[in-house]
Amino acid sequence: MQVGQGDIYDVVVVGSGSGGAMAALRAADRGLSVLIIEKEHKFGGTSATSGGVLWVPNHGLPGNEDDSREGALSYLKAIIGVPVNQERLEAFVDIAPEMLAFMRSLDIPVNVGVWPDYFPDRPNARSDRSLTISTFDGRKLGDARYPLMREQYNRFKLFGRYSMDLPETFTLMMQAKGWRRTVINILRRYHLDRETRRASHRDRRFTQGAALMGWLFQKAFERGVELRTETQLQELIVDKAGNVTGVEVSNFGRRYTISARYGVVLAAGGYEWNQQLRDRFYPVPGLTRHSSTPEDANRGEGLIAAEKIGAATEHTEQGWWIPTMRLPMRHASNFNEIHQAAFDVGRPHSVCVNRNGNRFVNEAMGYDSFGQAMVEDQLKTGANCPCWLVFDANFREKFSAGGLLPNILMPDRKVPGDWWDHYVFRAGTVAELADKIHVPRDMLEKVVANMNEYARVGTDPEFHRGDTAYDQMFGDPSCKPNPCLGPISRPPFYAVPINNGDLGSKGGLKCDAAGRVLDQTGSPIGHLYAVGNQAGTPFGDTYPGAGATIGPALTFGFAAANDIARRAANQTGAR
C-alpha cells in the first residue's frame, strides 16, 4: 500500500453523481475541505445521463403554494406498500424544500414542471412537484473540465450529437406542432458555435441531467471542492472506536489512503451492474446489460465495503424499474446499446403481452410500476422478462419503439438488415407476427381484437389504460376518444422484445434521517454516510413521481453535509 502525501480532508465523498455533488457543495459552503473521488474517467455519475428532474414536494414555488407537508405525507402513505422508516421519510419531506432553497440561493435556475405524480388518482397527488434545471453552459467549467463530464446517452440527443432540453425532447417525441422548426434551431445553434467546436465535439449546452450536474459542479469548484477521477474505493478505514476515518483507494493499480477528519459520504450509485448482487437481492434478477445506467459503472463497491464493517441494508429487492430494449450500435454492430422504452410501451396503436400472448398491465402507467408488473407476472407465469411490445404501421409512423425511431426518421428501408427478425420483427398479419415471436396465434389475435374495440369506445375495462392524467400525458391528443388507445389494424405489424431494465437499484445501505449508515443493531456507524442509490430509498417499494431518485439524493446529500458540519463545529469548539 502506498500512502499519498497530505491526503487529509475534512470530508471525502465517494462518487460524483447528484447526491455526492450536493454533499460536497454543501460541506464546502459550510467551510469544510472536501475531496470527491470518482472511479470513472468522467464525472457526473448516472445523474449526468438522466433527465435531471427533481421530485420535491411542498417546495412553495409558483403554483405549488397550496402544497403542504401533510399533503405530501398523505400521498406517500397512500402509495407505499411496505414498511419504511417513517422518521427518514418525514425528514425527506421536511428537508427537501430547505435543500431547494439552498440551490436557489446559489442562483441555480429551477423550473416547475407540469408533470403528474405517478399515482395521480391517489389522495393529494399533484402535477407540480417535479422540477427541472435550466440549460447550463458547459464551457463555464473550463475547457479542460467541460469535456470530462459524463455525456448523456444518444437517446437524449438529436442524431446522437445535439443537446436537447426537455421541452425540445417532448416536442420531437410527439412530433408536436413546430417540431421541424425545433430540429432546425437545434442544428443551427450547434453549428454556429464554432469556438466550441475547436475545443470539443461536445455541445456546450448541457441540458437535462447534465445541466443539473453542470450547475452543481460549477458552484462546488468555486468553493474549492477537489475532484479525482480514475480513483476507486477499495476499503473503508475504521479506527479502534469503530469510526470511519478515511478510505483506501486505487488509481490505475496504485493503492493509497485518504484520511477524512469528519466524515466519508458514500455516493457511488447502486449495484445494478453487479450480477452477483442482483442474483442475491432481486426476486427476478434480470441481467446487468438490461440496465439503462452507464455500462459497468454502478457495481455496489460502496455497499460491499460498508457491509464488511457491519452495515445493514434495506429495500434491496427493488429496482427503479424501466422497460428497455437492446439494439446493435449503428456503426459497430457487434456492440449493443440499451434504449429506454419508458413511454413507448403506452402509446396508442400498441399493446404489451407476455410470452403466452396475455396482456398483463396498463401499459401507460409509470415505468417503475410497469416493471413491477413484469416481475409479478414473471413470478406468476414464468413467461415475462422479456415481454413483447406489439404495434402497427400507425404507431410506426409517429412513435419510437426504444431505439427503433419513427418511420419519418428511420423508414423500414433504412433499418439495418441484421435487425429484422432478430431485434425487430415484422409481418403482414397479426397471426404471422405471432408465429415469428413464438406467441400463440389465437391469443395474440384475441388481444389485438380486444384493444381495437377498446380504442373504438375509448375505455379499457381490463387495465384502465388512459384513465389518469399521467397516462394521458404521453398519449396522442389526436387519438380519439382516448389518447392512449388506438386501433392496431394497419399492416405491417411489428414487435420488439422489452426487458425489465432499470434506472439503478432502489435499495441499499440502511440510513437514518441524517444519512448516517446504520449497523445491524440500528446504531449509526461513526462518521459514515450514504446518499443516492447507495442508500435505501425512503420510499420503499414505490416511485412517487418524476425525479424521485434525484430529489432524495440531493436532499440527503444536503442533510449529511449539515450533520458533518455540525459535528465539525462541535469538535473544533471543544478544542
Mean pLDDT across 129-135: 97
Buried (b) or exposed (e) across 208-228, using 16+ Cβ within 10 A? bbbbbbbbbbbbbbebebebb
Mean pLDDT across 169-190: 83
* pLDDT at residue number 573: 63
Across 33-42, 161-170, 227-236, 410-419, least confident range: 161-170
Nearest C-alpha neighbor of 472 from the set 490, 462, 487, 458 = 458
Mean pLDDT across 373-400: 97
Query: Sorting pLDDT into bands at 50, 70 and 90, what band is 157?
Result: confident
In which residue are the cell numbers 415481454 written? Answer: 387
Which triple of cell numbers denotes residue 68? 403542504
Q: Which residue type is seen at 16?
A: S
Give the separation between CA 12 and CA 8, rounded to whole angstroms.
9
Pairing of the two strands 54-55 and 130-133? antiparallel
Mean pLDDT across 263-270: 98
Across 17-21, 67-71, 180-184, 527-531, least confident range: 180-184
* pLDDT at residue number 2: 41
Query: Sorting pLDDT into bands at 50, 70 and 90, what band is 158?
Result: confident
Q: State the number of CA atoms in the 13 A half-sphere of 342 facing the CB.
A: 21
> Is the pLDDT assigned to residue 200 strictly greater than 70?
yes
At how many degrees (to 10) do helices 441-457 and 430-437 cross? 130
DSSP string, 362-420: -TTS-HHHHHHHHHHHHHHHS--SSEEEEE-HHHHHH--BTTB--TTTS-GGGS-TTTB
* pLDDT at residue number 574: 52
Buried (b) or exposed (e) across 4-41, using 16+ Cβ within 10 A? eeebebbbbbbbbbbbbbbbbbbbbbbebbbbbbbbbe
Mean pLDDT across 251-273: 97
Of 563 and 4, more confident: 563
Mean pLDDT across 390-411: 94
Across 79-93, 193-207, 361-375, 539-553, least confident range: 193-207
* pLDDT at residue number 13: 98
> Is the pLDDT assigned to residue 443 strictly greater than 90?
yes
Mean pLDDT across 179-194: 85
* pLDDT at residue number 6: 58
Nearest C-alpha neighbor of 196 from the set 153, 141, 138 = 138
12 in Cβ contact with 261 (< 8 Å): no
274 in Cβ contact with 305 (< 8 Å): no
Nearest C-alpha neighbor of 349 from the set 463, 177, 439, 482 = 482
Within 10 Å of residue 565's Cβ, how many Cβ atoms? 21
> Is the pLDDT assigned to residue 202 strictly greater than 60?
yes
* pLDDT at residue number 58: 97
SS3 108: coil
Q: How far is CA 57 from CA 50, 115, 154, 547, in A?
A: 20, 13, 31, 11
Query: What is the percent of the chain with per-residue pLDDT over 70, rounded to a whole number?
Result: 98
* pLDDT at residue number 173: 75
534 in Cβ contact with 508 (< 8 Å): yes
Give the separation between CA 376 and CA 81, rounded to whole angstroms.
14
Terminus-to-terminus CA distance in the chain, angstroms? 32
> Is the pLDDT assigned to residue 374 strictly greater than 90?
yes
DSSP string, 317-356: T-EEEEEEEEEEETTEEEEEEEEE-TTGGGSSSEEEE-TT
Mean pLDDT of all residues in the chain?
94
Mean pLDDT across 368-393: 98
* pLDDT at residue number 3: 44
In which residue are the cell numbers 463545529 written? Answer: 569
Query: Sorting pLDDT into bands at 50, 70 and 90, what band is 400?
Result: very high
Q: Could you read off the pLDDT of 68-127 as tens digits, one per residue?
A: 999 999 999 999 999 999 999 999 999 999 999 999 999 999 999 989 999 999 999 999
Mean pLDDT across 248-277: 98
Rounded (5°) CA angle 165-538-509: 105
At how many degrees (to 10) do helices 18-29 and 550-574 cross? 30
User: Across-strand partners of 18?
Assistant: none
Nearest C-alpha neighbor of 162 from the set 138, 130, 178, 186 = 186
* pLDDT at residue number 464: 98
Domain architecture of the chain: domains with CATH: 8-147+209-268+506-574 (3.50.50.60), 319-502 (3.90.700.10)
Q: What is the pTM of this model?
A: 0.95
| DSSP structure class, residue 275 | H
* pLDDT at residue number 165: 85
User: Across-strand partners of 39?
Assistant: none
In which residue are the cell numbers 435505501 written? Answer: 536
Q: Could you read off the pLDDT of 274-287 as tens digits, one per residue?
A: 999 999 999 999 99
**Is the torsion defined by CA of 511, 512, 514, 519 positive or negative?**
negative
Alpha helix (H) residue ranges in 157-296: 166-173, 179-191, 194-199, 208-222, 275-281
* pLDDT at residue number 1: 35
Mean pLDDT across 152-175: 81
SS3 386: coil
